[in-house]
């Protein structure tokens, strides 16, 4: 999905389809790319293996470095102070409900 989205984006750019009057379509496309990367990251967590665990650790460490809201962002992301069952539930909800819902919404908007 990430590869196909990137190929499509390159094609849109090379065909100049981001130019007037379709600027907003491109901007929604950028959000769709971010959503797709979000799907990829949360999907990787769904395996809940070593890669998922340490990937989450890196994600949480990146979030913790954001000034001011860092600790809050980590707690929101992990559902507690450590990577545990609550973390998996949160990422399951993101992967299955929240991000697909946003994706469908944005795709409908581009039509």
Query: Whole-number minimum distance, CB 93 to another protein, in Å?
Result: 19
Structure tokens that stand for 53 in this block: 């665990």
Angle at 16 between CA 13 and CA 20, to 5 degrees: 120
Which range of residues in 43-51, 71-79, 97-105 is near another protein by CB under 8 A? Answer: 43-51
The yes or no reply on residue 22 touching another protein (CB under 8 A) is: yes
Nearest-approach distance from CB 49 to another protein, in angstroms? 3
Fill in the per-residue mask, 61 to 80: x = in contact with another protein (CB under 8 A), - = not in contact.
-x--xxx-------------
Give the closest residue to 106 by CA, choosing from 17, 15, 54, 33. Answer: 33
- Find all residues with CB under 8 Å of 95, minimum gap 6, and list them: 39, 42, 43, 45, 46
CB 94 within 8 A of CB 59: no
Footprint of another protein (CB under 8 A): 2-4, 13-28, 30, 33-34, 37, 40-41, 44, 47-55, 58, 62, 65-67, 83, 109-111
């Amino acid at each position: 999905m990430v590869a196909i989205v990137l190929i499509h984006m390159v094609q849109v750019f090379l065909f100049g389809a981001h130019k007037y009057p379709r600027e907003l379509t491109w901007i929604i496309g950028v959000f769709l790319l971010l959503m797709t990367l979000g799907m990829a990251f949360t999907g990787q967590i769904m395996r809940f293996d070593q890669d998922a665990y340490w990937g989450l650790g890196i994600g949480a460490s990146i979030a913790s470095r954001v000034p001011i809201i860092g600790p809050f962002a980590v707690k929101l992301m992990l559902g507690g102070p450590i990577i545990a069952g609550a973390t998996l539930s949160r990422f399951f909800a993101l992967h299955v409900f929240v991000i697909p819902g946003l994706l469908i919404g944005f795709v409908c908007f581009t039509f």
